Chains A and B, each alone.
Chain A
Amino acid sequence: DIQMTQSPSTLSASVGDRVTITCRASEDIVTWLAWYQQRPGKAPKLLIYKASILEGGVPSRFSGSGSGTEFTLTISSLQPDDFATYYCQHYISYPYTFGQGTKLEIK
């Protein structure tokens, strides 16, 4: 099974900051990677798919990059709504494993 490792586990930042979350796959997943945002008590929301394609309705301050085994999610200028937990997930083959999550906290 492909393992997904996210870093950091927790990230403290302020409104207006630029932040980057990293996701590493244990083997080549080409660009079959999704990023999700989850707020407490809510279902995950798809932000980015195929590593870099923004889902419709997602603000352009979110961007994704990478291929193979190294991927990043960047938020260019943090807004109050962005403080949540973020997950990566590969979907190249089953099982579609998730990273352990990155909790983005207000500094």
Chain B
Amino acid sequence: DVQLVESGGGLVQPGGSLRVSCVGSGYPFSHYSMNWVRQAPGKGLEWISAISNTGTSTYYADSVKGRFSISRDNDKNSLYLQMNSLRVEDTAFYFCARDITYWGQGILVTVSS
């Protein structure tokens, strides 16, 4: 079975940094593009970033461009989201997703002083 498990969430102060991770299993990780999607508490879904299967192409929503960086390590079946210059409005559940099909359970990132 395909499984995606996020980790690394938590509380961080405004202006701070955090890296969240996602480990995939049950499929050939290196064959698929990956996405990060977030959801502020009580709000809708927001696509924020994607990376090609090889990692050579990356894409970002305007809301995070220049502050967040997506990467992957296919040898470790792992996807990462490095989040810098965090703002209160970045508070959300962060989901990794394999293309449009499979999603992790989500991890909460809270930005607050």
Contacts and interface: CB of A to CB of B under 8 A. Distances in A.
B59 A95 contact: yes
**What's the interface size class on B, roughly?**
10 to 19
Give the interface centre of A89, A91, A96, A101 by most chain B CB atoms within 10 Å. A96
Interface in A43-86: 43-46, 49, 55
Interface residues of A, number: 22
Interface string A1-19: 1000000000000000000
B14 interface: no
Main secondary structure of the interface of A (DSSP, over half): loop
Nearest to B95: A43
Interface stretch (B24-32, B39-47, B80-88): B39-47
A89 B50 contact: no
B105 interface: yes
A49 B100 contact: yes
Interface of B: 35, 37, 44-47, 50, 59-62, 95, 100-106
Interface of A: 1, 34, 36, 38, 42-46, 49, 55, 87, 89, 91, 94-101
Given A44-B37, A95-B60, A100-B44, 18 more contacts: A1-B62, A42-B105, A43-B105, A43-B106, A44-B45, A44-B95, A45-B103, A46-B102, A55-B101, A89-B47, A89-B100, A95-B61, A95-B62, A96-B47, A98-B45, A99-B44, A101-B44, A101-B45
